[in-house]
A and B are shown apart, each in its own frame.
Chain A
Amino acid sequence: MLLGLNGAGKSTLFSLITRLYAVRRGRIRIFGHDVGRAASEALRLIGVVFQPRTLDLDLSVMQNLTYHAALHGIGKREGRKRAAEVLARIALAERANDKVRTLSGGQMRRVEIARALLHRPRLLVLDEPTVGLDIKSRADMLAYVRRLVRDDGVSVLWATHLIDEVSDADDVIVLHRGRVLAHGSVPDTVQAAGAQDIHGAFTRLTQAAEAASEGA
């Protein structure tokens, strides 16, 4: 879980991980591959769900998925096979030939996750994936991604400003104005901040950072 308010640098971090911006200082490594120097090797291990919707609204669900497969060098037949698999998992198999435009917001998000998993990445990164979804879709999506972590061993980086999406079993990173304020398991972070729960810890950490920057 990557926790931060608007403007904390979450989306910028995503752009850096996915090589949309160059890394100026420091390095980003994905399973040992430097994003700057071995971008191809790093990118093929990541599945990305961006904050804005990135599906082609006028194409069908299946066409969107096979296009993504092609971008990863996966041929049409194999692409269709994998697309059918992932669609079945998100319970959208019967919508495969419908235009994306006809899907609901929650369904589009599920298709985007399915797309991100098509090339079987080891790391799935999601940038505020639940923005604009209703409560039920949000809960479903969280449950689905947690299942992926548990059953398939996929690593997940989930960026959000909604603190109630964090569960006690997660590792959490608190990001504020481009700085990492805390990093560790949820109980450790709560304890270190001297708070009752993760909500309190987050408030304390960000307020302390604000005070420090104003004092400086």
Chain B
Amino acid sequence: MSSVLAADAAPDTSPGGFSLRQYAICLKGIVWREGLRFLHQRERFVSALVRPLVWLFIFAAGFRQVLGVSIIPPYETYILYEVYITPGLMLLIQLFNGMQSSLSMVYDREMGNMRTLLVSPLPRWFLLSSKLVAGMAVSLPQVYTFLAIAWFWEIEPPPIGYIAVLPALVLTGLMLGALGMLISSVSKQLENFAGAMNFVIFPMFFASSALYPLWRVKEGSPLLYYVCQCNPFTHAVELVRFALYGEINWVSLAVVAGCTALFMVGAILAYDPARGLLARRGEAGGAA
């Protein structure tokens, strides 16, 4: 077939490659579009905020008396339960955001928008990474809006924490986005949001240090304690928790950075036409 369709026109001799400026333009374009789409989905923003606020206002208030939190780093005094779960709720926003943008990739792929992205002549790893950066960038204003509301609820980390937490959120946002992208390429079952909730969001969120300190988990179930220890979401929560008080949790930083790299490489490979699952799925689906 190749011989039949080979263009018999003059071969192209224009200089190849792209300049750094063109890479920057492309990245900017992808982030800009993601931002525009986010602005158009106002209900997404509202539900992204309502979710953690329900946890904070209702769940945490109800549990305040049940669950005493002793002094554990990075906290230097006794803290309210609300204060304890705030980092977990920030990560909950990012977790939902990551899953949502990965599901929008599935949706995009069906709608063809993913196709428009992937036929760009820039390298595919760059396009997918840009898409991740865009998804992460969209999560940041959501998290900060939540923090601003939480401030009125007397969750007042030191001012430096608001700045120190930014790089942590960038990293955790990338990690969760990459995880979502990987899942979207691998699994057909998770194409509806209920599936993602049951199999990814709930287990990750509950089997972590988001809602309860791990030493308390250990008292109840040593096995669950080890599961929580291995959950990257635990480390994302701890990274943000420490950063919010101007400290660095090095173990968590290493785990989150490692997982981010791992998930990103995985997602890029999964979307590689030669190796990835996209090709296999395409064959199975029989694109006519």
Contacts and interface: CB of A to CB of B under 8 A. Distances in A.
Given A56-B33, A63-B36, A70-B28, A41 B121 contact: yes
Interface in B93-151: 110-113, 115-123, 127
A18 B287 CA distance: 14
Contacts of B273: 19-22
A15 B37 contact: no
Contacts of A30: 7, 12
Interface in B23-66: 23, 25-26, 28-30, 32-33, 36-37, 40
B7 A29 contact: yes
A40 B287 contact: no
A66 interface: yes
Chain B binding surface, main DSSP class: helix
Given A20-B278, A28-B2, A59-B33, A71 B12 contact: no
Contacts of B77: none
Contact size class for A?
Answer: 35 or more
A32 interface: yes
Interface of A: 6-7, 11-13, 15, 18-22, 26-33, 36, 38-46, 48, 50, 52-54, 56, 58-59, 63, 66-76, 122-123, 155, 173, 180, 183
A41 B37 contact: no
Contacts of A12: 287-288
A123 to B, nearest CB: 7
A69 B36 CA distance: 16
A18 B65 CA distance: 60
Interface of B: 1-2, 4-7, 9-12, 16-19, 21-23, 25-26, 28-30, 32-33, 36-37, 40, 110-113, 115-123, 127, 273-275, 278-279, 282-283, 287-288
A123 B7 contact: yes
The residue among B19, B22, B287 with the most chain A CB atoms within 10 A of its own CB is: B287
23 contacts: A11-B287, A12-B288, A15-B282, A19-B118, A20-B273, A21-B273, A21-B282, A22-B274, A33-B11, A36-B274, A50-B115, A53-B111, A53-B112, A59-B40, A70-B25, A70-B28, A70-B32, A71-B122, A71-B127, A72-B120, A73-B26, A73-B122, A75-B25
Nearest to B17: A40
